[in-house]
Amino acid sequence: SGGPNWGVALGRRDGVTANLKAANTNLPSPFDPLKTIVDKFSAVGLDLRDVVALSGAHTIGLAQCFTFKHRLFNYKGTGQPDPNLDSSLASSLKTACPNVDKSNTNLNSLDMVSTYMFDNAYYKNLVNNAGLLESDQALMSDPQAASIVKDYSMYPYLFFNDFATSMAKLGNIGVITGINGEVRMKCGKINSLS
């Protein structure tokens, strides 16, 4: 799939519990406005450049229709599509995600240009009003974020470099030290279940 490389610290301790409520509170939602996303990133020491760079992970992956269907059929309660969404993309998405509940779990590529390639097509999509998630397209509503998006759309090496830097910063958030957590014997299980 391509993409950048970055160093990952080894020997980190893993937590032994998970908290769904905290995850849903602290992680950005596809429905969050840009200010909320920036605030969530800022709360853990990340800045707007990190928001824009890490959003580029959406160059690979899928989203369920319920995360963007409101943009196709009833944007902000108007009964109309999002006027900022590219009309040909909207038409294509309406076929993949018809306005019925049973389509809510249908999947669609976050980046329909190069679904399985880690590249800068995601940013080119945003410049062309073809971001799938409203939270992604919102990057173009802020002049500073839009400037970064445009740079990444033209200079993939800049995106790759900033993405790697932001991933390294992300990996240093909430590091567990001392006697807290554990070093896992098997990655997918806490040691008491191994």
Annotated binding-site members for substrate = 28
Distance CA 121, CA 136 (A): 13
Annotated binding-site members for Ca(2+) = 59, 111, 119
> Among 123, 147, 163, 141, which Cα is nearest to 33's?
141
Cα→Cα distances 158→52, 80, 121, 123, Å: 12, 37, 13, 12
The CATH number of domain 1-57+120-194 is 1.10.420.10: yes
Could you report the per-residue pLDDT of 88-146, keeping only the tens digit for each? 999 999 999 999 999 999 999 999 999 999 999 999 999 999 999 999 999 999 999 99
Domain boundaries, the chain: 1-57+120-194, 62-109
Annotated binding-site members = 28, 58-59, 111, 119
- Give pTM, 2 decimals: 0.91
